[in-house]
Amino acid sequence: MTEAGSPRLFCFGLGYTAEVLAVRKRNEGWAVAGTCRSPAKRAALAARGFEARLFDRGRPLADPAAALAGATHLLISAPPDETGDPVLAAHRADLAALRDLDWVGYLSTTGVYGDRAGGWVDETTPVAADAARNRRRVEAEAGWLALARDRGLPVHVFRLAGIYGPGRNQLVALREGRARRIVKKGQVFGRIHVDDIATVLEASMTKPNPGAIYNVVDNEPEDPAAVVEHAARLLGVTPPPLEPYETAPMSPMARSFYEDCRRVRNDRIRRELGVELRYPTYREGLAALRATMD
């Protein structure tokens, strides 16, 4: 705990997902701070009442001791790059020196399971990432868990499915003309509402279990084209045309997401953390988002 006895959350990467958690904890009276990459984002965060410090690959925290002082909870959402995890690279020793941490959360991806031809996986399934970006996540997970073993940090790993929520969803994509219905036989994706991610993280903070790994995904893997079609019905618009995956023009990055197909179980967040998702499928999530739109 901090000297005042109140918890303090520090987020490496105070972005879309982390900010939802940060707002909740600040509203509960926590001290909250974090990092961002640009002065413009820093100014935007400051306007919303957050203390933010610049951090990126090649630009470590200017004063890590001051930035991390009093931290009781640490969230890492900064992704690894081609040369590894930037937080561990720059501040492994600073983190290892922290003595008051009650909880550390590392945000990873269900992509670490690789392609399972539509089969089910859970947290006991060995990782088998194929894409380079997912192999980097496997390595980053291993690095954080090694730090936990070596230095006793209370690290928890959260493997997130595709994130959606306010401002980032198929309803917005349809209105902006960006939505597409790519069709690949048998393809399904998992997804999770950003509010449910924050709920899982809060539940873990309340019931820490260092070394635990949790899949954070909703209850229903679905064909991404069907999700776009459902969103179009909610908006009362014609869905975009179907495009066969084999011939659809896509960037290499976008195409790579269709190379993996798996169904991810979320039993552990319910069984161990007592979490019941507010948005158990995309239907509830999109309906709630639609209700907030003009």
Average pLDDT over residues 193-207: 98
Distance CA 38, CA 4 (A): 31
Distance CA 235, CA 141 (A): 39
Q: What is the pLDDT of residue 4?
A: 52
In a domain? residue 115: yes
In a domain? residue 236: no
Task: Give the mean pLDDT of the chain.
Answer: 95
* pTM score, whole prediction: 0.96
Q: What is the pLDDT of residue 1?
A: 41
Over the stretch 125-184, which tens digit does the pLDDT of each residue have?
999 998 899 999 999 999 999 999 999 999 999 999 999 999 999 999 999 999 999 999
Over the stretch 32-58, which tens digit does the pLDDT of each residue have?
999 999 999 999 999 999 999 999 998
Q: What is the pLDDT of residue 210?
A: 96
Stated as kind and residue range, the H or E segment containing 52 is: strand 51-54
Contact 196/49 with Cβ under 8 angstroms?
A: no
Q: What domain count does the chain have?
A: 1
In a domain? residue 180: no
Average pLDDT over residues 191-216: 98
Q: How far apart are the first and last CA of the chain?
A: 43
In a domain? residue 48: yes
At residue 3 the predicted structure's pLDDT band, cuts being 50, 70 and 90, is very low
Q: What is the pLDDT of residue 74?
A: 98
- The DSSP annotation for 93-136 comes to HHHHT----SEEEEEEEGGGG---TT-EE-TTSPP---SHHHHH
In DSSP terms, 74 is beta-bridged to 10, 104
| CATH number (domain holding residue 126) | 3.40.50.720
Over the stretch 5-35, which tens digit does the pLDDT of each residue have?
689 999 999 999 999 999 999 999 999 999 9
Q: What is the pLDDT of residue 41?
A: 95
Q: What is the pLDDT of residue 207?
A: 97
Tell me the two tokens of residue 204. 């873990």
Q: How many CB atoms lie within 10 A of CB 82?
A: 8
- Could you tell me the residue range of the domain that residue 142 belongs to? 8-164+191-218+262-278
In a domain? residue 292: no
Contact 100/71 with Cβ under 8 angstroms?
A: yes
At residue 2 the predicted structure's pLDDT band, cuts being 50, 70 and 90, is very low
Q: What is the pLDDT of residue 294?
A: 83
**Is pLDDT at 249 greater than 80 in this prediction?**
yes
User: What pairing do the DSSP bridges indicate for beta strands 162-164 and 155-160?
Assistant: unpaired
Over the stretch 88-127, which tens digit does the pLDDT of each residue have?
999 999 999 998 899 999 999 999 999 999 999 999 999 9
Residue 265 gets the label, from left (phi > 0), alpha (psi -120 to 50) or beta, of: beta
In a domain? residue 271: yes
In a domain? residue 91: yes
Residue 247 exposed, middle or buried by CB count within 10 Å (0-12, 13-18, 19+): exposed
| DSSP state letter for 19 | H
In a domain? residue 125: yes
